[in-house]
Each structure stands twice: as structure tokens, then as C-alpha cells.
Chain A
Amino acid sequence: MGTIRVEVELKGPLARLAGKEQLEYQVKSEALIRDLLGLIGQDFPALQRFLPGDEGEQYGRHRVLILQEGQPVKLDQKLFPGMRLKIMPPLTGG
């Protein structure tokens, strides 16, 4: 099983908490978005409380918004080579 490279852009306070906006990860080719979030949480403990837990959630509810090409992605979606994700504040608002 090989590895693939994916890119993550953190936005707003998430970038400030992590201390950087652009992240790159080399992950197993079978890895899921959920696995990637686990790695991010390990590397940036300040983000941990905002990242979706392992509760059978599909999208991460309201902790953060995870977008690929402008659309929300499922946590159990497989990563693919060159995938670019944005992790953003959730869609709050009245």
C-alpha cells in the first residue's frame, strides 16, 4: 500500500490557532478524511476541540466546515492524490 500527498488550507481562527494556514500530509492511500483529521489533531492540539470526534458523524456537524471544491465532504470519504481541502469555521449565523 503506497502513500499519497494531500493539502489542507486552514481558515480564520483555525489558522491562527495552528500557527499556519497551509498544511501538507503524506498519508496512506486508503486513508479517509477522518484519519487525516486525526493527524491534524495530533500535530495541532489547539485545534483538537474543534475537530469532529469519532462518534459516527458523517460530516462533523458544527465543529468545523470541511470543503472540497466548495462542497462539504463526508468524514468517511477516501482521500485521493493531490486532494485539497479547506477546513473552515462552521456556517454559523442567525
Chain B
Amino acid sequence: MSGYHGRILDLNLSSGEMKEEKPEPTMLRHYIGGSGLGARLLMDNTDGDTDPLGPGNILIFATGPLTGSRVPTSGRHAVLGKSPLTGVWGESDVGGNWGTALKKAGYDALIIRGRAPHPVYIHLDEEGARIENADHLWGQDTFATEVLLKQEKGEGIEAACIGPAGEQQVLLASIMHDGRHSRAAGRTGLGAVMGSKNLKALSAEGQRSTPLAHPGELKKNLGEKVRGIRENLVFLSDYGTTGGIISLEETGDLPIKNWLQGKWPQVEALSGEKMAETMLKKKFFCGACPIGCGREIEYRSEKFGPIMGAGPEYETVSTLGSYCLVDDLEAVAAANELCNRYGMDTISTGAAVAFAIEAFQEGLIGVEETGGLHLDWGAGEAVVEMVRQIGEKKGLGALLGRGVRAAAAEIGPRAEEMALHVKGLELPAHDPRAFNSVGLSYATSNRGACHLAGMTHALEGSIPLPQLGYPEIPDRFGTGGKGQLVARMQDLMGLFDSLKLCKFLLFAGIEVGDSLNWCNLVTGWDLDQKEFLKAGERMFNLKRMYNVGCGISRKDDLLPPRVLTHPRGTGGAAHNLPRLGEMLREYYEYRGWDEMGLPTREKLEELELEYPWEQ
């Protein structure tokens, strides 16, 4: 079984029972690993009635067949569960080194069910898994938790943990990896699921190598590819993910002032170049990555004291910066560090703060709700304080920590216009008005508004993908053909998430051919492009079926009114609005779904998926 160890550990925290399952070869070929394998496991173990924060929900950590190999960027894993933030499909794919450690401990995936009677952590190594007491870790932030775990288990372990936000089941809570380097399984509130299980952390270590079907051929292939990746992604390596923020502002992609503004000249103050000049200590790499887009920062701020750890990524400088009109990189970095220490998704947290600022400015909330805090646009210190309130589940922060959908419902009808989300998940920092396909991708992504499920801003922005059928960059303001484009990209990105490849590889020209080739060289399979892409389609449809079981249909495949009806007004996408209805119709047709957005029996049978309803 090349590419896998053939071991899935199923661990019940209520009873302490553990059992190992050997995945069927057909299942692996159908679902690959990571996101796809996790999809199958989540579908088989939970449903629409499962309480996301109850012991019946499961938390899955899944590696891919490439994890633990030397395939570039493959040091990744997926975390899955039913989301307490959205009530539907929950998934977050993460880099760092923990996934590699899990694989080296000898496991392909881990299923955690039940609820421990007191705080625990799980240690995994080649001898097996052990549940350990974590009373002494409970209450510690994520940086300290990693330090304490390494003191206890040795410097060789890799740690995944929650911070105080996850412990208190803040619905924006993430699962953090790699200590101060803060690689986050950020989205959909899976940190709260971990907290609901009284599971503080997982440590993993081992030396088991991933079995490779064709090691010699793979080695030969990788030498050339890695060189090409380094050469093409030199800018990302030099300046990190925020290096291109001025270009995103120029094209009208950067959301500004809670999506109300078209241009923002102050953007350079948040750029990767600025970070490099002021606070960069060194760059860092995820497992098997030749790029190194991570920024380790160290800075002493007069306003915020010492700032350290992973510097803010593009999404973070947007949500905590431009969404709030904060052009103070120190404030953004300080708020980012708080998110990392509390263990919170910086996208949803920043979006929630921007929502609160607008609600404050419009008089929907006042200083009584904010604890005396004046939430003004551009007020960096207020943003940092509001992040603290969310992390500590205090004051207005307790409400914002339930996400903008819930917060708007509580504050009142006028607030709903300010709450930008899809299916309860806050919008990330790519504007559907700048790239029409992004709007369709947000509307149809299984976890809610997600820029990574389709990654179509890459294709419409600058990267042709000839092997997927796009030798030219499509017109970003066009509507025709976008249904097919988004569906194809979602299927391919699902495969990346299952093999465990970083999507930045697209920018180096790595797409269908290379990912399929690596899959076959590692597993020994003989998948052709058709079967490979069909696996991606199968995973996407399986996740959709999970959501259908949660009540999702066409009525939920929407965009917030602000990006559908309110043009940016100025800048590189001043007048464009995505025509969602037209794109959605084409998308359903291409997917083989009915008008309500439900996969048809014929489509499910074609994909060898079960059809749950009899006529």
C-alpha cells in the first residue's frame, strides 16, 4: 500500500477506547486522502442531526498519500468535523509540520469522538497513542502549550493545540500547529469542536517513512520541479503572502472598510516589503516546502509591547487591516499575535471586528456594548482590544465570537447588511466584484465563503492552467463559462487538499499533470486524468450531499447583498457586480445537479456515491 501506512486510528475520548482500521484500497483510490478521505469518514459518522459541539461530532485529522514524501509542499494535513460556526460541512487544510509528524508516527488519519471527562491531550508515536492528562495545559495559550508539551515529550514532537478560545468554545476558534509559527486549521470553528471534547492538544513524533511505489523516478522528477518552483515563486519567498497586496488593491480585489470602499492608498503600509523593513526576523518553511512564505517576526512596539511569532499573512493584514481601515502594521501584527495565541481564525475574527466597527458607526451598538471602547475606522488599538474580547469571550467579544451571522441576528435587521458571510462563514479577502468566478466559488463552496476551495482568483488574476482547459487567462468580469470554470477548479483543488499539496504550486505552473504524476509515482496507481478528476468531482459531491443532509440547497448558494448590488465605485473593479444567478444556473447544469442545487441520482451513480432518497 504505497503512499499510506494503512492505519486509521479511531479514538473515543468518552471511553478511552481505541481501535485501528485498515482503509480499503478502493476507498483510498476513490477518496485519495486528506480532505477526500476525511469527507468519507465524516459522512459515515455524522449527519444533519449531529450537534457540532456534542460528543457525537467527530474530529478528523487526515494526511494524504504525499505527506511524508519529498513532494514539494506535501507536509500538510486536513482537519474536518461538523462546523459549530456554520452548522454544515467543516474543514480546514493546514501546512506546517504536524501532518508530517502524524504520518511519521505511522498513521494516515485520526478520528476523535466522544468527550473526555477532564482536559486531556493525545500523544502519538510509533508505539501507538496515549491519552494524557492536560489539566496543567488548560488555560495556556498556544505558544506556551507547545513549549510545555516539548518539555514533557521532547523537542522532537510536533504539536497541534487549541488556545483559550477553543477551550471556551468560541465559534471562531482554530486549531493551531507548530507553536509560534502558528500554522492554523483556521476556518469553520473546529477549535471549538476540539474544546468541546476537552481535548487540549495532540503531540506526534516518529520516524516511519512513507512507502513510495517508484522512489527513483520520483526523485528524478522532483529535482527539476523543485528548481522551477523556487524560480517562479521567488517573490512569494522574498516578501511572503503580503508581498502582493498592492497589486490586489490595484485590481480591486482587496476588501476595504467592510467591503464599502474601492481604493485605499495606505495599503503599502501593510505590505510584505514594509514587514521586511520593520519586523521580519527570518522566513520559515512548512514541511517539504521549497518556497518558505512564512514570516517570523520580532518587534518591540511602544503601543503594544513585544510582538513575536508568525507575522500576519495576506488574509490577516486584510481582515484586521484594510477591512477596518487600519494602516498600522504594528496594530495588525499585535492583533494577529493575539489571534494566534488565543487560537482564532484571523479571517473570521477580523471580519467580525470590521462588522462591529460599522455597526458602531451606524449607531446600532454603543459604548455600553463595547465596554467603553470607541470602534472607529482605522483605530488600531480598538481593533486589538476587540480581538482580546473575542478571545476571552467577554463583553461584545462574546457575541462577535459567534460569527457575524449570529451577531447580526442579535443586533437587529439593519446589521444584517453589514454581516458578510456565506452559509455562516465570513468572507475572506478576495472580492467577487473583482473576479466573477470568486463570487460563484464563495456561493457554492461546501464550507461557506472560501477562497481556497476554488482558488479561481489565481486563474482569473494571472495564471493560465492549460491542462485544466484554460490556456488563456479568462476575462475576470465575464459571466459565460464561469460555471464550468469554478466546478473544474473546485474539483482540482479538492485533489490538492486530498493529496496534500499547497495551492501556491498553481503559481509555479503545477496543476493537473504534475499532481496526477506525483500521485501515481507515490501510490503506484495508474490513474489517468479522467479518473483523477473524477475523484475530485466525487469528493466535492460527497461534501455537497453532507450539506444537503444539513438542509442546504439553492437558497443557501448566495452572496451577501453588499457584493451583489453595491459596486466598489473606484479602483480596478469599480463598476463590476457578479451576475450570480446566471453563473449558478450554468454551474448546476455542468455539475449535473437539479435546479434546487441537489445532485441528481444519475450524477451520484456515475460517481459511485449513494443516493439517499428513494422516489
Contacts and interface: CB of A to CB of B under 8 A. Distances in A.
A53 B231 contact: yes
A36 B256 CA distance: 34
Given A12-B271, A13-B243, A70-B572, A91 B464 contact: no
A80 interface: no
A62 B429 CA distance: 19
B517 interface: no
Contact of A49 (B234, B250, B293): B234
Given A12-B246, A61-B509, A65-B244, A92 B239 contact: yes
Contact of B315 (A50, A63, A93): A93
A20 interface: no
Contacts of A91: 244, 247-248, 251, 253, 457-458, 461-462
A13 B462 contact: no
B432 interface: no
Given A49-B234, A91-B247, A93-B430, A16 B273 contact: yes
Given A11-B247, A59-B473, A89-B244, A65 B273 contact: no
Interface residues of A, number: 26
B100 interface: no
Given A90-B507, A92-B244, 11 more contacts: A12-B268, A13-B243, A50-B235, A58-B472, A59-B473, A62-B235, A88-B247, A92-B242, A92-B314, A93-B245, A94-B315
Shortest 9 CB-CB contacts between residues of A and residues of B = A62-B507, A92-B244, A93-B314, A89-B244, A94-B315, A88-B247, A13-B273, A91-B461, A12-B246
A64 interface: yes
A56 B157 CA distance: 44
B235 A93 contact: no
Interface in B458-475: 458, 461-464, 471-473
A65 B314 CA distance: 17
B428 interface: yes
Contacts of A19: none
B123 interface: no
A93 B321 CA distance: 14
Interface in B273-307: 273, 293
Majority secondary structure of chain A interface residues (helix, strand, loop or mixed)? loop
Q: How large is the interface on B (under 10, 10 to 19, 20 to 34, 35 or more residues)?
A: 35 or more
Contact of B244 (A53, A70, A90): A90
Interface in A1-36: 11-13, 16
Given A91-B248, A91-B253, A62 B232 contact: yes
* Residue of A12, A61, A64, A70 with most chain B CB atoms under a 10 A cut-off: A12
B146 interface: no
Interface string B447-460: 00001100001100
23 contacts: A12-B246, A12-B268, A12-B273, A49-B234, A58-B471, A61-B462, A61-B463, A63-B232, A64-B235, A70-B251, A70-B572, A88-B244, A89-B239, A89-B272, A90-B247, A91-B462, A92-B243, A92-B244, A92-B247, A92-B248, A93-B242, A93-B457, A94-B315
